Amino acid sequence: MNIVRRESKANAKSLILWSVGSVIMVATGMAKYAGMAGSGDSMNKLVASMPKSLQAIMGTASFDLSKASGYYGLLFLYLLVMGTIHAAMLGAGIIAKEERDKTAEFLFAKPVSRTKALSEKLLAAVGNLLIFNAVTLLSSIAFIRMYGNGERFEETIVLLMAALLFGQLLFLSLGAFIAAILKRPSAAGACAAGMLLFTFLLSIAVNMKEELHLLRYLTPFQYFEASKIMDAGLDPVFISLSLFLTVGFTTLAYYFYNRKDLGS
Amino acid sequence: MKVMELENLTKRYGKARGIEDVSFSVEEGEIFGFIGPNGAGKSTTIRTLLSLIYPTSGSAKIFGKDCVKFAPEIKQEIGYLPSEVFYYDSMKVIDLLKYSASFYKKDCTARITELADAMNLDLGRKIGDLSLGNKKKVGIVQALLHSPKLLVLDEPTSGLDPLMQQKFFSLLREENKRGVTILFSSHVLGEVQKLCSRVAIIKEGKIIKVETMSVLKENNYKKFRIETGSPVAEDDFKISGIRDFAVKDNVITFLFKGNLNEVTVLMASLDIRNLLVEEPDLEEIFLHYYEK
């Protein structure tokens, strides 16, 4: 467990920054809602008057913005983006850094197998994701109580945070997989972020064009759409799919990392 | 007992040269030199032995066990010093050494302080702030702190000042006396001569020769450069053992192998203004082995 300890320590600063970012996002978001809540239905009318494509980009499609829950649903998209970027960069970085910083020669000259090192690194990373998720959950509950005009939907928030966690785990495994297969691991972080951006844009495209709806299986941002989760809970098909992909990427990461020549 | 046994170890990187059919073995308690010019494949061989990279074909055994299959197990007893040392820059020296020690199944605390004292290493400083020489010292302590049975040292002296080199060498001799086997890679013949009992010479990815140090020394050519006051007749130097003979103006240069007295007799009759007798450098020795 020495690598878990080492990695938790090494990533502590970045985790604090990301967590603070999440708290600020929730706090400012819900504070804005409080400022707007007095204007009643006018916000909904304003959004409805915007072109559909703009609504799709902002993710406002089906939320009642006069309610705190509707507003939080809109905010969740940005929390999801933030959480998954954090996870993807963490997954790529925690694996790639040994080669990038040329410390692989130190670590793997020690009596430790690649499998064990990878496991401990991923364990430390999952710990980080859980903390980020818990901070987001607690700050969501706290700021909705503060600004939400008395509306309570804490069970829904827990459900949304579960969705966030599935998303985080999926992108963590994607980042680790990319770091494991790339010959030049310094590009792993950028590559993982690029793939995340691509799937995010794809999700917007799916929202804009009905004909593209089959592509929704290709982008995790469709798996965890707040409006659907708030209406009908987690979709078992999408959750299974995301679990399947997470396990798949993780398995492949082990496979390739064990066979990789560690560059000097 | 053989501590290391390499059999036709081959590593190819696409078109770039790696190593080809490298075979040699290292006996227990030996200080074995692994020598060759930069880029010859020394580091590639060592990195393959440590399964940082995997062989294309062939195999190697360390402590009688396959170096890929049993990698984590055999590394319990290996200390490795890479040619270029890189550690986690944000860590303090002591934290890095403790982290390093945490991989082994023994308490290394006393040994860390002992080695740091011997190498004059400040344990409280951040790795990122250290000079190259000090980083190398961290590397040395890190390689020795768990009292391994086998030391693998890749160009260990680069970056160390002469005083530290001496301390390091005496440290290695001490370890060797305790029965530790050492693989010492270098491109400097002099330091290998000082320490090693046997050497393997590698060039362009292939082992050219495995030889005991004493034989290698006997085979050694001396390089002569003589400056004279008057021109010299080339025929005067027609004795056996001389090669690469050249006269330019009043300067004679040649390589000589054999009884040195024969040359001093010849020189006695010359009007010598300047005389230089050197060990040929490694490239010249390689050239000599390569031609055979």
Higher pLDDT, residue A61 or B276:
B276
Q: Which residues of A touch B90 (CB under 8 A)?
A: 10
Name the residue among B53, B54, B73 with its Cβ closest to that of A111: B73
Q: Which residues of A touch B46 (CB under 8 A)?
A: none
pLDDT at residue number B284: 65
**Closest-CA distance of chain B to residue A172, Å:** 23
**Cβ-contact B21, B202 below 8 angstroms:** no
User: At A107, which amino acid appears?
Assistant: L
Mean pLDDT for each 10-residue chunk of chain A (264 residues)? 95 97 95 79 76 73 81 92 97 95 95 97 98 97 90 92 97 97 90 94 87 89 90 93 97 97 79
Q: Does B75 touch chain A (CB under 8 A)?
A: yes
pLDDT tens digit sequence for B198-216: 999 998 899 988 988 877 7
Q: Which residues of B touch A113 (CB under 8 A)?
A: 71-72
Q: Which residues of B touch A6 (CB under 8 A)?
A: 99
User: At B131, which amino acid appears?
Assistant: S
Q: Which residues of B touch A116 (CB under 8 A)?
A: 72
Name the residue among A6, A111, A262 with its Cβ closest to that of B52: A262
Cβ–Cβ gap A108/B50 under 8 Å: yes
**For chain B, which domains are there?**
2-217 (3.40.50.300), 221-291 (3.30.70)
Distance between CA atoms of B59 and B46, rounded to whole angstroms? 13
User: At B58, which amino acid appears?
Assistant: G
Q: Does B38 touch chain A (CB under 8 A)?
A: no
Q: What tokens appear for B211 in the block?
A: 């030889």
Cβ–Cβ gap B53/A262 under 8 Å: yes
Q: Does B63 touch chain A (CB under 8 A)?
A: no
Q: What's the N-to-C CA distance of chain B in angstroms?
A: 32
Cβ–Cβ gap A109/B71 under 8 Å: no
Alpha helices in chain A (DSSP H): 2-10, 12-37, 42-49, 52-58, 68-100, 104-107, 114-147, 154-181, 188-208, 220-223, 226-232, 236-259
CB atoms within 10 A of CB B288: 17
Cβ–Cβ gap B103/A103 under 8 Å: no
Cβ–Cβ gap A103/B43 under 8 Å: no
Q: Which residues of B touch A262 (CB under 8 A)?
A: 47, 52-53
Q: Which residues of B touch A2 (CB under 8 A)?
A: 99, 102-103
Interface of A with B (CB under 8 A): 2, 6, 10, 101-106, 108-113, 116, 259, 261-262, 264
The answer to whether residue B290 scores a pLDDT higher than 60 is no
A176 phi and psi, to 5 degrees? -65, -40
The answer to whether residue B218 scores a pLDDT higher than 90 is no
pLDDT at residue number B48: 96
The answer to whether residue B291 scores a pLDDT higher than 60 is no
The answer to whether residue B292 scores a pLDDT higher than 60 is no
**Cβ-contact B23, B207 below 8 angstroms:** yes
**Cβ-contact A220, A246 below 8 angstroms:** no
The answer to whether residue B283 scores a pLDDT higher than 70 is no
Q: Which of A108, A181, A254 is nearest to B46 (CA)?
A: A108
Cβ–Cβ gap A106/B100 under 8 Å: yes
Distance between CA atoms of A57 and A52, rounded to whole angstroms? 9
The answer to whether residue B24 scores a pLDDT higher than 80 is yes
Distance between CA atoms of A200 and A221, rounded to whole angstroms? 6
Q: B281: pLDDT confidence band, cut at 50, 70 and 90?
A: low
pLDDT at residue number A162: 97
Q: How many helices (H) and strands (E) does chain A have?
A: 12, 0
pLDDT tens digit sequence for B121-168: 999 999 999 999 999 999 999 999 999 999 999 999 888 888 999 999
